[in-house]
Structure 1
Amino acid sequence: MFASLSTSVLFALGGLAGLVILVSGYRMTGLSDQIADRTGLGEALVGAALLGAATSMSGTVVSLTSALDGRASLAFSNGIGGIAAQTAFLAVADMIYRRANLEHAAADLANVFQAGLLLLLLTVPLMAFTAPEIAVWGIHPASIALFIIYVLGMRATARLREEPMWHPVTTPDTRADRPEDDREAEKSAYSLVLPFLALLVLMALAGWSVARIAAEISDRLELSDTVVGATMTAVLTSLPELVTTLVAVRRGALQLAVGGIIGGNTFDTLFLTLSDIGYRDGSLYHAITADDLFWLTVAMLMTAILSLGLIYRERRGIGWESTGLLVVYIGALGLQVM
């Protein structure tokens, strides 16, 4: 379908798909905030579970489509590269939110727990890569472990929401999660679900287009799938996380902003499960390259920095964690393209 198109047209179509992803993500933020208020689940949990998973839809389709095409590196680096890019977006949001340090103001136990869960999930593919190759019906046990840990982690997050064992210290800069008091509050949660699902389908179609375009560009320009996946498709499909984070910060839904990024990153680890199922030439984790593993370690490092920032809660200005996130991510991009 895309093979007959010129390179310039491919880039234009890729930009159009990115625009669709961007606009859909923008609309999803407002719907998610309203759903959080109507259901009483809270911004952090809805951001981690609903918004995080929904805005990852286009990336999910890119990784699965790439795996079905036998492009293990593109499938892997798209998911892991997206985690790194989305974590860097929090640093951008911290720069925009000038009242206080974002991680300080958005203090929430669910977000701290989700960051720890994400670190745990990221160690699983690393262990799979270094362990002997095992595959049952072409699926590595690590892929099953990722899914089980994710489900148990989300259940634990919901329990923490209901029965927290500790609370962050409240300061004048802490922004609590409070339902909005306006005419939108009259809407039921069910009336918000249908447009949310429609946007989800639209993002899936855009993600499929991005996967096909990226594969064609990679072949045509003789670029490695790792470079295309970690820099092009990862950033393009991460645009919803960028716009939803910035919009959530502007709306004052700080827990939703931070939870959306961390929850989206947590959900993105399931890209690997789907990709391993779709990759039919054996274990996905033993078909990737050292360059792919590089982005895995970058994502782990950035998640560790973010976790420490959430716990330390520097109060004023752009936090040291935001500076660290940008330095690590920009440095990784520089090393990748060298």
Structure 2
Amino acid sequence: MFLLEPEGWSLGQALIAFALCAVVIALAGTRITGVVDQLADRTGIGEAAAGAVLLGAATSLGGSVLSVTAAWKGHPELAVSNAVGGIAVQTFFLAVADMVYRRANLEHAAASAPNMMQNGLLICLLAVILLAPMLPDVTFWGIHPVTPVLFGFYIYGVRLVQGASKEPMWKPTITGETREDAPDDTTLMPAVSRLWIEFVILMLILGLAGWALEPSATTISRETALSQTVVGVMLTAISTSIPELVTSLAAVRRGALTLAVGGIIGGNAFDTLFTAASDLAYRDGSVYHAMSEDALFWVALTVLMHGILMMGLIRRERQGPGRIGAESVAILVLYLTGVFLLLR
């Protein structure tokens, strides 16, 4: 079967494999939303923390496997562009979710101290990645010093997010449109052990799909003469981010608004570790110094998008242009402008 021999794929076979993996990621990502929502209630960790850690990491697994595999095979441009492109498109998906929730601005309704903390962590992690290429190009055992900094910063940041969830030092003003994290009736849910087993199985499926996407993306880049940055930002990043779109929309429809926002922001913070993991896998030096100018542009653009999102989370506008938040409009315009500049 051709799926077992990726080295010999034609363009048509690569497109078929790409589409199959995208469908698998979409289906598994849809199901895992409900599982994480139930785990948040059964374990008592809350929707914001569950969205930031469990949902964010699980739905990002396919993309992380793809980036690491690409870096290991000597394709750092694809590895990094998939990571930063995924963060950008998932932020775009948050604006789409805001369009779906018509009652009020999503950032207003899902006001949460943990989500604010998570967004601040993400901006810091992106800034470190943006700074890395300007530092000396030195490695120790093939690893740049920025890599352990990213991992350590992320772990510390997650602890701060959990602290903001359990013992927040401030709380947003509750309005008629605010939807607080209200646990569902746990007596109607499956046992915690069953939920964890299903969660792990779905994560493995997402990881395998991401592994299979890498050879198809490399083949598409080679056969179409598209740069790996274009393939990473426009194809693999979007396909591996399908779970974030599906899960955020599903969470909004379920009324789990904090989970929807936390899942996107948490997934984006986790996605910054794609770059660190890619540096571990890349054996020809520092992956940060192999980043293209287009990849650096998308990192800077994403920092700007999340800076605007932070301002929106603080301002908490009830409704803006088109009955969505002004920050969502800005994010939509910035992302589409970035796509236009990339493809011009």
For Structure 1 versus Structure 2, the TM-score category normalised by the shorter chain is over 0.9
Partners in 2 of 1:188 and 1:169 — Cα distance? 35
Match of 1:126 among 124, 130, 142: 130
- Alignment partner of 1:150 is 2:154: yes
Structure 2 counterpart of 1:189 = 192
Partners in 2 of 1:325 and 1:256 — Cα distance? 20
AA in 1 matched with 2:147: S
- Alignment partner of 1:92 is 2:92: no
Post-superposition CA distance 1:242-280 (Å, at most 9, x none): 000000000000000000000000000110111000000
Contact 1:139 1:276 in 2 (8 A): yes
Structure 2 counterpart of 1:313 = 316
Post-superposition offset of 1:222: 1.5
Structure 2 counterpart of 1:329 = 335
Partners in 1 of 2:186 and 2:209 — Cα distance? 33
Structure 2 counterpart of 1:162 = 166
Contact 1:34 1:184 in 2 (8 A): no
- Alignment partner of 1:79 is 2:83: yes
AA in 2 matched with 1:94: D
Structure 1 counterpart of 2:16 = 12
AA in 2 matched with 1:58: G
Match of 1:136 among 110, 129, 140: 140
Contact 2:9 2:219 in 1 (8 A): no
Match of 2:33 among 22, 29, 33: 29
Contact 1:62 1:208 in 2 (8 A): yes
Contact 1:147 1:273 in 2 (8 A): yes
Shifted more, 245-254 versus 157-166: the winner is 157-166
Post-superposition offset of 1:170: 0.1
Post-superposition CA distance 1:210-238 (Å, at most 9, x none): 11100111111121111111111000000
Partners in 2 of 1:148 and 1:183 — Cα distance? 38
Partners in 2 of 1:279 and 1:9 — Cα distance? 27
Task: Name structure 1 gaps, 5 residues minimum.
Answer: none
Match of 1:251 among 250, 254, 267: 254
Post-superposition offset of 1:159: 1.1
Post-superposition CA distance 1:100-142 (Å, at most 9, x none): 1100000000001100000000011111111121211111111
Partners in 1 of 2:245 and 2:237 — Cα distance? 12
Partners in 1 of 2:46 and 2:191 — Cα distance? 15
Partners in 2 of 1:183 and 1:152 — Cα distance? 34
What is the TM-score when the length of structure 2 is the normalising length? Answer: 0.96
Match of 2:271 among 263, 268, 277: 268
Post-superposition CA distance 1:163-220 (Å, at most 9, x none): 11000000000001111127533x3322201011111111111101111100111111
Post-superposition offset of 1:6: 2.9
- Alignment partner of 1:231 is 2:231: no
AA in 2 matched with 1:38: R
Structure 2 counterpart of 1:175 = 179
Partners in 2 of 1:184 and 1:307 — Cα distance? 36
Match of 1:279 among 277, 282, 287: 282
Match of 2:6 among 2, 10, 13: 2
Contact 1:28 1:196 in 2 (8 A): yes
Post-superposition offset of 1:2: 2.4
Partners in 2 of 1:128 and 1:102 — Cα distance? 34
AA in 2 matched with 1:320: A
RMSD: 1.0
Identity of aligned residues (%): 51
Contact 2:78 2:229 in 1 (8 A): yes
Structure 2 counterpart of 1:302 = 305
Structure 2 counterpart of 1:203 = 206
Task: Name structure 2 gaps, 5 residues minimum.
Answer: none
AA in 1 matched with 2:289: H
